[in-house]
Amino acid sequence: MDGYRAAAALLPGRLRAAAEALGPEGRACCEELRLRLGRPASALLAGREYPLGTAAVAQSDLRAVAEAATGASLHAATEQLRLGFLMAPGGVRVGVCGTAVMGPGGLEGLRQLSSMALRVPRQVTGCADGIWQELTAGGFRSTLILSPPGAGKTTLLREIVRRLSGEAVRVAVADERGELAGAWDGAPAFELGPCADVLTGAPKAAAALMLVRAMNPQVLAMDEIGGGAETDALLRTAGCGVKLLAAAHGERGTPLPAACRDLVRAGVFSRLVWIERAGGRRRYAVERPECG
């Protein structure tokens, strides 16, 4: 099942019909399906939203998507809801908004859902071809992928994992949100190659250390790194001699996010890959970071 079909399959009847009515070109470039209570559903195409029909999204529609995303086990997805997303079959990530439920430890979950963003996942085999020689000259080295949201970090990260794994490199994947492998009931929706081991659903910091201890990887891969515990875990992982492949939000020409800057200064990453969008196309640029 392709990513668009997987996302549309989560929608209840009339919304699914509206999504399936989108033409082939729209499906091919759709980044997200958006649902907002009381407003028509929309498709995010090349950074701009377009309505899908005229019917307003109801609370029952949002609940139906949540049930479909969790296999009718919404009660078992409390931790995901606390973090504002749901993992769904086919590698679809469903971002969720609503009324926060607060407790002694902070945000405990969401109720009265108000909007959803269904991220359309894609495997683009060959998207790393143009930079592969630069990434592997002298052997693969720890690499950080940076781009604005929705520009294709996860897609490129997934392809690099597949290429490394296909060259008999052991790659351990910390897939906290289930987007890289799209694993459901243990079976991946995307091809990550013969030498990839995937841990789904665990916080990235804990997953990184668990994978290093248990799976003896040569490369550890993770998406959307942040600070705090994740920075510490990546420093410890690099100290064990494991190469890193990670992605984070960032825009070329602007300062690196604090967590990334700390890791670059520590010499953890040897290469940066910037993704930029121009004229509806993605461009990749490989740089060696300046430390210090």
Judge whether 137 lies within some domain.
yes
What does the alpha-carbon distance between residue 72 and residue 65 come to, in Å, rounded to a whole number? 10
Residue 200: C-alpha distances to residues 75, 87, 208, 265 (Å): 18, 10, 11, 29
Torsion angle, CA of 169/188/150/132, rounded to 10 degrees?
20
The answer to whether residue 153 sits within a structural domain is: yes
Whether 72 and 190 map to the same domain: the answer is: no
Mark whether 115 and 48 lie in a shared domain.
Answer: yes
DSSP 258: H
Three-state DSSP class for residue 93: strand
pTM value is 0.85
pLDDT, one tens digit per residue, over 39-75 is 999 999 988 999 999 999 999 999 999 999 987 666 6
Domain-embedded: residue 92 = yes
C-alpha to C-alpha distance for 196 and 173, rounded to whole angstroms: 7
Which pLDDT belongs to residue 230?
A: 92
Out of 78, 99, 119, pick the residue that ends a domain: 119
Whether 259 is in a domain gets the answer: yes
Cα–Cα distance, 8 to 153 (Å, whole number): 22
All residues at 6 or more sequence positions from 60 whose CB lies less than 8 Å from its CB, including other chains = 12
Kindly state whether residues 214 and 133 are assigned to the same domain: yes
Please check whether residues 52 and 145 belong to one and the same domain: no
Angle value at C-alpha 98, between 92 and 103, nearest 5 degrees: 110
- On whether both 134 and 264 belong to a single domain, the answer is yes
Total domains present in the chain: 2
Examine the domain organization and report whether 7 and 69 are in the same domain: yes
**Could you tell me if residue 265 is inside a domain?**
yes
Contact 68, 87 (CB under 8 A): no
Check whether residue 32 and residue 93 sit in a common domain. Answer: yes
Q: Is the dihedral of CA 253, 259, 264, 268 positive or negative?
A: negative
**Whole-angstrom distance, CA of residue 124 vs CA of residue 151:** 13
Q: By residue range, what is the domain housing residue 44?
A: 3-119
Q: What is the CATH number for 187?
A: 3.40.50.300
Is residue 292 assigned to a domain?
A: no
Residue 86 has pLDDT above 60, yes or no: yes
**In the predicted structure, residue 110 carries a pLDDT above the cut 80:** no
According to the 3-state scheme, what is the secondary structure of 116-141? EEEECCCCCCCCCHHHHHHHHCCCCC
Judge if 264 and 133 occupy the same domain: yes
Q: For residue 86, what is the domain's CATH number?
A: 3.30.450
pLDDT at position 101 is 79
Cβ atoms of residues 81 and 99 within 8 Å: no
Based on the fold, state whether residues 112 and 140 are members of the same structural domain: no
Q: Are residues 144 and 241 in the same domain?
A: yes
Confidence of residue 282 (pLDDT cuts 50, 70, 90): confident
Query: What whole-number percentage of the chain has pLDDT above 90?
Result: 64
Asked if 149 and 107 sit in the same domain, the reply is no
Q: Are 188 and 53 in the same domain?
A: no
Digit-coded pLDDT (tens) for 133-169: 999 999 999 999 999 887 889 999 999 999 999 999 9
Q: How far apart are CA 205 and CA 222, in angstroms?
A: 10
Does the pLDDT at position 289 exceed 90? Answer: no
Last residue of a domain, one of 87, 119, 151: 119
Please indicate, yes or no, if residue 134 is contained in any of the structural domains: yes
Task: Between 31 and 104, name the one with better pLDDT.
Answer: 31
Q: For residue 122, which of 182, 171, 177 has the smallest C-alpha distance?
A: 182
